[in-house]
Amino acid sequence: MIRFIIAVLFVVLFLLFSYILFFIEWIVGKFNKKAKDISSLRIVQWAFRVVLWISGVKITVIGKENMPKEAALYVGNHRGFFDILIAYVQCENLTGFVSKDTMNKVPSFRVWMRYLYCLFLDRKDIKQGMKTILQAIEYVKQGVSIFIFPEGTRNKGEELSMLPFKEGSFKIALKTGCPIVPVSINNTADIFENHLPRIKKTHVILEYGKPIYPKDLDREEQKHIGATCQKIIEDTIKKNAKKI
């Protein structure tokens, strides 16, 4: 419980102090938008690293050399609340995460997410969901990577199980031609979800697969790219489960 209490206190203090940071970032953005984008990225990454350190999370990263220099679509399995923190601290360049719409209701957090090109997805509104995908396509064209969890929600099943990937998510890559990077994350549910409300010191393995370029696929392969990525991730998390 101590880790949980300290982590919550830090997050609350950071979100309160964020109002001062927002003003500073606004001024920076008036003179240099790119500088504001990068500084916002580093600030949030620092905050996430602190939360991970408080939580006692040890991260083993495999295949970071597979992260393209250009904007890409990162797709990963989703087991716990810490997935975003763990993946986000690895980002070298601007990366917007697609999150559920409820995150839009947290004032300070909402502003940081918008600064960092994150998108809010209402899974019940198909029309709004399409707008989110179209906005993600525009971001990729601007050089911003997108990270999405194609299962559509956090998987609460068995540790190595996965929900079916939603193929619509992959339109972001198919419409832009950007590389698709499968991301496999092991053991995040054991940080928090498996024993709420306690936070447990945990070893997590994150692995980046080799990028897949849509232009290298024929039409039939493009239709089933979601299933292909899911198979890659599924095989990888099973392989890495033996290392924990």
pLDDT of residue 136: 94
**At 32, which amino acid appears?**
N
| CATH fold label, 58-241 | Glycerol-3-phosphate (1)-acyltransferase (3.40.1130)
pLDDT of residue 159: 65
Are 155 and 79 in contact by the 8 Å Cβ rule? The answer is yes
pTM, two decimals, is: 0.92
pLDDT of residue 156: 63
Pairing of strands 73-76, 119-121: unpaired
pLDDT of residue 244: 74
How far apart CA 199 and CA 9 sit, in angstroms, is 14
Pick out the chain residues at pLDDT < 70: 103, 123, 125, 152-161
Long-range contacts of 215-221 (CB under 8 A, 24+ apart): 215/177
Identify the CA nearest to 98 among candidates 62, 82, 74, 79. 74
Query: 206: burial class by Cβ within 10 Å (0-12, 13-18, 19+)?
Result: buried
pLDDT of residue 153: 64
Question: Cis link prior to 179 (omega < 30° from 0)?
Answer: no
Q: What separation in angstroms does the CA of 66 have from each of 62, 204, 240?
A: 9, 19, 17
Are 207 and 190 in contact by the 8 Å Cβ rule? The answer is no
Residues 6+ apart with CB under 8 A from 134: none
pLDDT tens digits, one per residue of 48-107: 999 999 999 999 999 999 999 999 999 999 888 899 999 999 998 999 998 877 767 778
